[in-house]
Amino acid sequence: MQDVPVAIRLNPFKGSCGPEGSPVPWNPLGRILPSRPSFTADPLFHAGCYYVQDSSAMFPGYLLRRVLEDGFAREGLRVLDLCASPGGKTTDAAASLRALLGDRFLLVSNEVTRSRVPVLLDNTARWGDPCVTVCSADPSVFGKLAPGCFDIIIADVPCSGEGMFRKDPRAREEWSPAVVDLCAARQKRILADVWPALAEGGVLIYSTCTYEDSENDSNLEWAAAKLGCEILPPPGAEFASFGVRTTRCGSLLKAGEVPGEGQWAGTLIKTSLSARRPSRFDVAALRPLRTGISRGMMKGGDYIPHADEALAIGFDRSRFPEAELGLEEALRYLHRDSLYLPDAPRGIITVTYKGHPLGFVKNLGTRCNNLLPPGRRILMDI
């Protein structure tokens, strides 16, 4: 396997702190790192101060910002990230939406494959945006339960994966012309199924990690002919000097030509008549797995907070006393070991690293009960 570039995207609502690197041309918060550090051993990663994401995979986020800056950034905006796991495009979208709209938006982050949902839940929890709702529904469900509800849909659809050949040898072994045909047909079905959920005049940002025309340009041309939409012009030569190619309907980023892996992305605007966009949208109909920030519970007359509360953007840090941890102590907390905080008051304590909340402990005096969820425990030796 060739060396694969690694990049991160900073969380501007948690101080924009993380490893240093060179800028990603299409994302002001992106950094291309000179080498791959141990993210597991960095408490700032667990605090949600940055997200690890391939720089090419940040390109759909650039297209979203382009749309938002072109007049779509309005109060009450509803966005659906249809194929969201592990959460890169969701967290990128959340940062852009919050920068323009504050709390006045809804972002539904959906992953149909149940085995991929836990990592999406964890990554969106670390990012900490209270306007994100996580679901696991088939694309057709949105078309039936939420007709015309979404102003923007991000569809990073399953594909034949040519853009991942350098990173993942298994993708190369599994590729075949038959797989390409299967993926192209599946992508059309996904677009057709979710199309009713997009409001008239709404925008769909479509992306893949393949170079196949039948899965990229041809699918957008099919959508324009069959679904009722127009293809928005791609950025053109703006990023040509960084290796981005302009195709008939979108932008192609090829591994070896750009700083990251392979990606293709294009944008559609819906012209066909659809159900009138409802002024209100009942998310409960989608049976979300989490709406906003998870909350704690009462136990024995005491409120025991959920770890996600400490990670939330806008967390009220005056609610609990805080204890600042050094690196070794922070890693012991993330390993879910017990801590000893002799100088802290008894009761619920917010533990922090470099001033950033990591979660909670309950200080009993002689030791602390670690309230980190077991599923987020780091497994590496510390």
DSSP state of 377: -
Angle (nearest 5°) at CA 98 between 144 and 292: 55
Taking residue 241's Cβ as centre, other Cβ atoms within 10 Å add up to 8
> Shortest CA distance to 151 belongs to which of 99, 209, 112, 107?
107
Do 195 and 82 meet the contact criterion of CB atoms below 8 Å apart? no
Catalytic residue, chosen from 209, 229, 249, 368, is 209
Using CA atoms, how far residue 278 sits from 76, 198, 274, 325, in Å, is: 11, 11, 11, 48
Cα first-last separation, the chain? 28
What is the residue type of 232? L
- Listing DSSP states for 253-307 in one string gives E-BTTBSS--EEEEEEEE-S--SPPPS---GGGG--SEESS---EEETTEEE--H
Q: Is the dihedral of CA 315, 311, 35, 167 positive or negative?
A: negative
Token pair recorded at residue 319: 């609610």
**β-strand pairing of 22-24 with 27-33:** antiparallel
Q: Is 209 a catalytic residue?
A: yes
| Residue 110: φ, ψ to 5° | -120, 140
Alpha carbon 257 to chain centroid distance? 25
Determine the Cα–Cα distance for residues 159 and 181; give it in Å rounded to an integer.
Answer: 10
Alpha-carbon distance of 299 to 283, in angstroms, equals 29
Cα–Cα distance, 83 to 187 (Å, whole number): 11
CA torsion through residues 42, 51, 166, 157, sign: positive
> Alpha carbon 191 to chain centroid distance?
20
Q: Which residues are catalytic?
A: 209
